[in-house]
Amino acid sequence: MNRILALSLTLVSISTQAQNSPFIMAVDEYVPAPGQFINTMPAFENGDDAESMARKCTELIANNAGLTVCLGAWGGYITFHFDHPLVNVAGHMDLYIKGNAHVGNAESGIVMVSQDVNDNGLPDDAWYELSGSADIDSSNVVYGYELTYEMLGDSLDVAWKDNLGGEGYVTRNPFHEQEYFPTWLKSPLTFSGTRLPNNAHDTSGNGSYWVLDAYRYGYVDNFPNTDTLGCSFDLDWAVRPLTREAVYLSYVDFVRVYTALNQTCGWIGETSTEISGSIDLHPDAELPSSIESISLPCNVRNTTFDIFGRSLSNNLSGFAVKDGKIILPR
């Protein structure tokens, strides 16, 4: 991916009119886990392969199209890029990602980022996770989690086993009759990453009404899209996935989102993250003269948050704020 390095030592320069598009340019990978909306969001057709399915995802969520892609159960992911590197602007949120969450229905997904270090235009370099509130708030986060899905037959429940000895099924329901296993991918299908603690509660006591609580910050499809701060991310949150060592990234070229919950909620079915677009909050920011990645000596970012998990030091400079809400570009 081509980069234009800033000649100035100034970290960032923001102009009134964007030189780069703030919206997703293209989807590079679409590798969903099994689920009740798989093969429909986007729709699989005979002859589709990984490349054509990624292209269909591009049509749904790139260039502010505003439609939705489903990632399936735990581990399912999508990778995308902009038409320019996403710059880490000091003291500011850098990225906004839309899902389809509403209050009481948080199907939270984790964000990962990568630099195109080998400059081949492919998302095949090291990946870093953006650390969210569960890293601070919970002792039940599972790092280094691995799960394998196996297709048992056409139109059957999909079996899974994890590296902790757990096993179960992505179960079918009468509302969605298509194949739940992504048809263009081969079984078995294995994912690895971080698993968030379950957030679902059967508040009715009889399985009829489920509530999925939002985490405080740091996840996709966790807050309604109107909560723009809740849907925004800071590249300063980057950590190495296993060691949780903080890493400073001056820019990233690729963004990945994956479903971070492995739970089934009765008749609602499996929890699956959805994504409907993304915005670079500083599309005109220039790359700094140094583009190295630096490992920081601590594993918890030094940022102050309020009781709702909102950063007290991070602002979205260059975007209008009205009644506490960020007015994003159309």
Q: Does residue 281 lie within any of the structural domains?
A: yes
pLDDT band at 288 (very low <50, low <70, confident <90, very high): confident
Q: State the pTM of this model.
A: 0.86
Q: Does residue 274 lie within any of the structural domains?
A: yes
What token pair was written down for 43? Answer: 């729709």
Q: Does residue 2 lie within any of the structural domains?
A: no
Q: Does residue 4 lie within any of the structural domains?
A: no
Q: Does residue 229 lie within any of the structural domains?
A: yes
Instruction: Tell me the residue range of the domain where 120 lies.
Output: 26-327
95-109, 155-169, 284-298: the lowest-pLDDT one: 284-298
CA distances from 313 to 58, 91, 238, 299, 323 (A): 34, 6, 17, 19, 18
Residue 304 confidence (pLDDT): 37
Q: If you ran DSSP here, which 8-state letter would residue 114 be given? A: E
**Could you tell me which residues come within 8 angstroms of residue 27 by beta carbon, excluding any fewer than 6 positions away?**
54, 55, 57, 58, 61, 62, 69, 78, 79, 80
Number of domains forming the structure of the chain: 1
Q: Does residue 31 lie within any of the structural domains?
A: yes
Q: Does residue 13 lie within any of the structural domains?
A: no
Q: In this structure, how many other beta carbons lie within 10 angstroms of the beta carbon of residue 124?
A: 13
**Could you tell me which residues come within 8 angstroms of residue 203 by beta carbon, excluding any fewer than 6 positions away?**
209, 210, 211
Report the chain's terminal Cα–Cα distance, integer Å: 26
Calpha distance 63→273 (Å, rounded):
20
**Residue range 116-128, pLDDT digits in tens:** 999 999 999 999 9
pLDDT band at 19 (very low <50, low <70, confident <90, very high): confident
